[in-house]
A and B are shown apart, each in its own frame.
Chain A
Amino acid sequence: MQDAERIAAQAVEHHRREPSQLLQILIETQDGIGHLPPASLTRIADLLDLPRSRVEGVAGFYSFLHMEPVGRYRILFSDNIIDRMLGSRGLMESLCRLLEVAPGEVSADGAVSVDTTSCTGMGDQGPAILVNGLAVTRLDEARVERIASLVRAGTPLADWPADYLHVDDNIRRRGALLGEDFVPGAALQAAMARGRQGWLEEVRISGLRGRGGAGFTTAVKWMACRDAPGADKVVVCNADEGEPGTFKDRVLLASQAERIFEGMTLAAWATGARQGLLYLRGEYRYLLKHLRAVLALRRAAGLLGARILGEGGFDFDIDIHLGAGAYVCGEETALLESLEGKRGTPRIRPPFPVTHGYLGRPTVVNNVETLAKTTLIAVQGGAAFAATGTPQSTGTKLLSISGDCAYPGVYEYPFGVTIEHVLEDCGAHDPQVVQVGGASGVTIAGHEFHRRIAFEDVPTAGAFMVFDGRRDPFEMARNFVHFFAHESCGFCTPCRVGTALLKGYMDKLASGKGAKMDLADIEWLDRLLKNASHCGLGSSAPNPVIDTLIKFRPAYERRLVSLDFKPAFDLDAALETARRMTGRDDPAAHLDWREEV
């Protein structure tokens, strides 16, 4: 324990005893110890002068932080429906068998624990796992066997076969963003030549809208931040990319980091911000070294720091913060809370981040792709940017394509492209369903494949998951419902309880025990989630269920117990008297159904 306290103290010092660095401190402490024993939390609280309860509150929020011991090798299988279609569940069973460990538990010798985690953003090269936080891709039985022996031999991760830890970009179609070479500094020079106001005007002309999901007009956001009272403005890049099936930001971070950081600097030029923060999802931790190296290069080139490109009064620098396994932290106000070292709970809005953001300061939060796109606007001008796409959705959109297709990967298309066109390009042979926009997106059935990717038709943050005739839309929806129940932050009643209940109903149907009444309850929960939730996670959680219930209702009805089903002896019916006596008729009062919590 002495050791744990020493490691915790070092982490606190390393982060200058700054309470807003609490999440980073916890991550670093866990890196050193393996988990977060009680004494380490007490020590951190003491040194930061915070109540211990607050530290425990934060440590308990993030999936990748552990207050109980985990294996020296901590293996997490990405559990998105796409990984499952690629065989992840069978591979996890094999690995557990080989290592003699049960899923969710630590092996007797403490060497290894195996579990599942939400989509790790490797749908184009799954099934994927995280080993001690680092991505291992393209799993198959051979790799699983090799991994088991590496674990048994105690081989350090650094000595594992390099190709196991290799992540491909899989860029399949290049448009303006992925196709053109970029000279670092060129966009900044062009924007600075126009002056701050002139630069904002170019962004306005471009019609650029946010690529993170909501589609808010970027120039309006930047102007609101520029005009907000307060001198110490902040630019935040949202690289949390937690939406299942989305991995285009991963590819941009890996291949276009210069553009992303330059985009942040362009936002600083427009708003007057001096501080930049990039929030990197924990799953992409393997990119940290690369991103820090690019930042160092940019500092050396005078593209970050004091007097950028020699311009007096233009000072701006960027820090990277790591997430730790919480999809909700992609929601911009939860992201700000997390950046401040707190639980990732969405804030009450208004006020909005542009006036009251990071530490109460005016803050621009933009998606990775949005920021990268601003470099195009700076170089070619707003009008040229607006010449592609549709009038309401200008420019191009990156799609992360995965599932039942020959060429999964990242595709850049002008907005307005039809879904059938995309399906043809990616080599989907028998597409039946496309889930556009991730778990929270839209379920598209065959008769809608003529629809277009655009804010005004089928909007998307970038996910495009293809399902062929072998797949079951109900199982897709059920997988997403599990995802939302796991990721609900638990702040508000409808989402905290509603997603857990919805999961129970979907599981009940899956086990063939559903009744017609359950469909009515499901639809009622859908409505409550949509109407009463505090943030977009809860209000979009029922989307896949709503859509599949409308478009693929037989997939649900097939699972209901037939209404005129009359077995010779029905044990459940025999319990009717007991139910009447206790005044209960809820699903748990019936045989064979228990709520999984």
Chain B
Amino acid sequence: MGGKFLFDGQPVPFEEGQTILQAARAAGHYIPHLCWHPDFPPHGSCKLCIVKVGGRHVSSCALPARDGMEVESNTPEINGERRALLQMLFVEGNHFCPSCEKSGNCQLQALAYELDMSSARFAHFYPDRPVDASHPDVLLDFNRCIFCELCVRASRDVDHKGVFALTGRGIRKHLVVNAESGRLADTDFAVGDRAADICPVGVILHKRVGFALPIGERKYDEASISTVAMEKGE
């Protein structure tokens, strides 16, 4: 029982069970997202994908499309709110893009460009989040975590290891690994795991391949995140 809805005034068809975001993508419309990934069920935490339906804000990655819906997405109002959410993610962690190995491949950075985020606006929290360099192949730089839980989900549901989890609550929430020592080296994490290649930002970094491709020639240096997402399906 599919149907059709209006996306920023344009008709978009959908199949039963598709979310607004999925149907919009299939029809060639990009909606910003960070915690959503095409290979995983929706998570609904980052809220970058908010759209307005009948005057109410909803998460387009999670809400099933319904016939006759009128969806507003690419409007100054919604993009302004998305920009503010990005600003929140930036001030919450420690993001120094120029010195980050993920620069140019980072979805957070790319979205900030996409949405014209020119300042952080809010006060920085400067949290204390020590890095974990214990593992021979992978470095964890928690300073950049945006809590999308993609690594948690990939490790639990694809790798069947449960290497990552979140603990703490509220602004003190943080990522932990599956070891009493708290060190990645003491888990069964492997560089070939799905979780090793899922992080949208620069937390889970492969050692010894850093800066192989120079900054300036990377994924989002060449094309905007909306283009990459729509053309490469990422």
User: B171 contacts A597, CB within 8 Å?
Assistant: yes
Kindly supply a per-residue 1/0 record for chain A positions 532-548, scoring 1 wherever the CB is within 8 Å of any chain B CB and 0 otherwise: 11100000000000000
Main secondary structure of the interface of A (DSSP, over half): helix
User: B122 contacts A532, CB within 8 Å?
Assistant: no
Task: Decide yes or no: A348 and B44 within 8 Å by CB, A51-B165, A60-B169, A61-B168 being known contacts.
Answer: yes
User: B122 contacts A490, CB within 8 Å?
Assistant: no
Answer whether residue A576 sits at the interface, using C-beta atoms and an 8 A cutoff.
no
Residues of B contacting A588 with CB < 8 Å? 123-124
User: B57 contacts A343, CB within 8 Å?
Assistant: no
* Nearest B residue to A38, CB-CB: B180
Contact among B64, B81, B84 for A350, CB-based, below 8 A: B64
Answer whether residue B18 sits at the interface, using C-beta atoms and an 8 A cutoff.
no
Shortest beta-carbon distance, A597 to chain B, in Å? 5
Give CA–CA (A486, B162) in the complex, Å: 28
9-residue interface stretch from A164-172, A297-305, A414-422, A494-502 = A494-502
User: A53 contacts B89, CB within 8 Å?
Assistant: no
Kindly supply a per-residue 1/0 record for chain B positions 78-100, scoring 1 wherever the CB is within 8 Å of any chain A CB and 0 otherwise: 00010011001101100000000
Task: Decide yes or no: A42 and B162 within 8 Å by CB, A586-B120, A588-B124, A595-B123 being known contacts.
Answer: no
* Nearest A residue to B174, CB-CB: A60
Give CA–CA (A60, B167) in the complex, Å: 5
Residues of A contacting B106 with CB < 8 Å? none
Answer whether residue A489 sits at the interface, using C-beta atoms and an 8 A cutoff.
yes
Residues from 443 to 493 in A contacting B, C-beta threshold 8 Å: 485-493
Answer whether residue A111 sits at the interface, using C-beta atoms and an 8 A cutoff.
no
Residues of A contacting B127 with CB < 8 Å? 597
* Nearest B residue to A51, CB-CB: B162
Task: Decide yes or no: A521 and B122 within 8 Å by CB, A348-B42, A491-B45 being known contacts.
Answer: yes
Give CA–CA (A107, B57) in the complex, Å: 48
Answer whether residue B161 sits at the interface, using C-beta atoms and an 8 A cutoff.
yes
Task: Decide yes or no: A59 and B123 within 8 Å by CB, A492-B45, A532-B47 being known contacts.
Answer: no
Residues of A contacting B121 with CB < 8 Å? 521, 586
User: A490 contacts B172, CB within 8 Å?
Assistant: yes
Contact among A326, A496, A528 for B173, CB-based, below 8 A: A496
Residues from 324 to 344 in A contacting B, C-beta threshold 8 Å: 326, 343
Give CA–CA (A583, B121) in the complex, Å: 11
Answer whether residue B65 sits at the interface, using C-beta atoms and an 8 A cutoff.
no
Contact among A57, A492, A494 for B165, CB-based, below 8 A: A57
User: B47 contacts A494, CB within 8 Å?
Assistant: yes
* Nearest B residue to A587, CB-CB: B123
User: A59 contacts B167, CB within 8 Å?
Assistant: yes
Answer whether residue A160 sits at the interface, using C-beta atoms and an 8 A cutoff.
no
User: B171 contacts A492, CB within 8 Å?
Assistant: no
User: B123 contacts A504, CB within 8 Å?
Assistant: yes
* Nearest B residue to A501, CB-CB: B122
Kindly supply a per-residue 1/0 record for chain A positions 509-553, scoring 1 wherever the CB is within 8 Å of any chain B CB and 0 otherwise: 000000000000100100110011110000000000000000000
Answer whether residue B9 sits at the interface, using C-beta atoms and an 8 A cutoff.
no
Shortest beta-carbon distance, B136 to chain A, in Å? 20
User: B84 contacts A524, CB within 8 Å?
Assistant: yes
Give CA–CA (A486, B170) in the complex, Å: 7
Give CA–CA (A443, B81) in the complex, Å: 26
Task: Decide yes or no: A488 and B47 within 8 Å by CB, A53-B162, A524-B84, A534-B59 being known contacts.
Answer: no
Residues of B contacting A593 with CB < 8 Å? 123
Answer whether residue A17 sits at the interface, using C-beta atoms and an 8 A cutoff.
no
Residues of B contacting A145 with CB < 8 Å? none
User: A531 contacts B166, CB within 8 Å?
Assistant: no
Give CA–CA (A116, B175) in the complex, Å: 26
Answer whether residue A54 sits at the interface, using C-beta atoms and an 8 A cutoff.
yes
Give CA–CA (A586, B156) in the complex, Å: 39
Give CA–CA (A239, B164) in the complex, Å: 32
Kindly supply a per-residue 1/0 record for chain B positions 157-200, scoring 1 wherever the CB is within 8 Å of any chain A CB and 0 otherwise: 00001111111111111001111100000000000000000000
Give CA–CA (A532, B87) in the complex, Å: 14
* Nearest A residue to B64, CB-CB: A350
Kindly supply a per-residue 1/0 record for chain A positions 163-199, scoring 1 wherever the CB is within 8 Å of any chain B CB and 0 otherwise: 0000000000000000000000000000000000000
Answer whether residue B6 sits at the interface, using C-beta atoms and an 8 A cutoff.
no
Residues of A in contact, count (CB < 8 Å): 53
Give CA–CA (A56, B163) in the complex, Å: 12
Residues of A contacting B142 with CB < 8 Å? none
Residues of B contacting A143 with CB < 8 Å? none
Residues from 1 to 54 in B contacting A, C-beta threshold 8 Å: 42, 44-48, 50
Contact among B57, B62, B89 for A493, CB-based, below 8 A: B89
Give CA–CA (A595, B156) in the complex, Å: 35
Shortest beta-carbon distance, B101 to chain A, in Å? 23
User: A532 contacts B44, CB within 8 Å?
Assistant: no
Residues of A contacting B48 with CB < 8 Å? 493
Shortest beta-carbon distance, B233 to chain A, in Å? 23
Contact among B42, B62, B122, B163 for A53, CB-based, below 8 A: B163
* Nearest A residue to B163, CB-CB: A53
Give CA–CA (A62, B170) in the complex, Å: 11
Give CA–CA (A350, B165) in the complex, Å: 25
Shortest beta-carbon distance, A242 to chain B, in Å? 14
User: A501 contacts B123, CB within 8 Å?
Assistant: yes
Give CA–CA (A490, B168) in the complex, Å: 9
Kindly supply a per-residue 1/0 record for chain B positions 50-77, scoring 1 wherever the CB is within 8 Å of any chain A CB and 0 otherwise: 1000000101001010000000000000
Answer whether residue B125 sits at the interface, using C-beta atoms and an 8 A cutoff.
yes
Contact among B42, B91, B167 for A61, CB-based, below 8 A: B167
Residues of B contacting A524 with CB < 8 Å? 84
Answer whether residue B147 sits at the interface, using C-beta atoms and an 8 A cutoff.
yes
Residues of B contacting A486 with CB < 8 Å? 170
Answer whether residue A384 sits at the interface, using C-beta atoms and an 8 A cutoff.
no
Residues of B contacting A343 with CB < 8 Å? 166, 169
User: B85 contacts A534, CB within 8 Å?
Assistant: no
Residues of A contacting B164 with CB < 8 Å? 53
User: B171 contacts A53, CB within 8 Å?
Assistant: no
Task: Decide yes or no: A56 and B170 within 8 Å by CB, A500-B125, A531-B81, A534-B47 being known contacts.
Answer: no
Task: Decide yes or no: A493 and B46 within 8 Å by CB, A498-B88, A586-B124 being known contacts.
Answer: yes
User: A534 contacts B44, CB within 8 Å?
Assistant: yes
Give CA–CA (A338, B88) in the complex, Å: 28
User: A500 contacts B171, CB within 8 Å?
Assistant: yes
Residues from 124 to 168 in B contacting A, C-beta threshold 8 Å: 124-125, 127, 146-147, 156, 161-168
Residues of A contacting B168 with CB < 8 Å? 60-61, 490
User: A53 contacts B165, CB within 8 Å?
Assistant: yes
Residues of A contacting B161 with CB < 8 Å? 51
9 more A-B contacts (CB under 8 A) besides A534-B45, A588-B124? A38-B180, A39-B180, A51-B165, A53-B167, A53-B178, A488-B170, A490-B166, A492-B47, A532-B57
The 4 closest A-B pairs by CB, nearest first: A51-B162, A60-B167, A53-B165, A490-B173
A-B contact list, 11 entries, CB within 8 Å: A52-B180, A53-B164, A57-B167, A60-B167, A62-B169, A488-B169, A496-B92, A497-B89, A500-B171, A521-B121, A534-B44
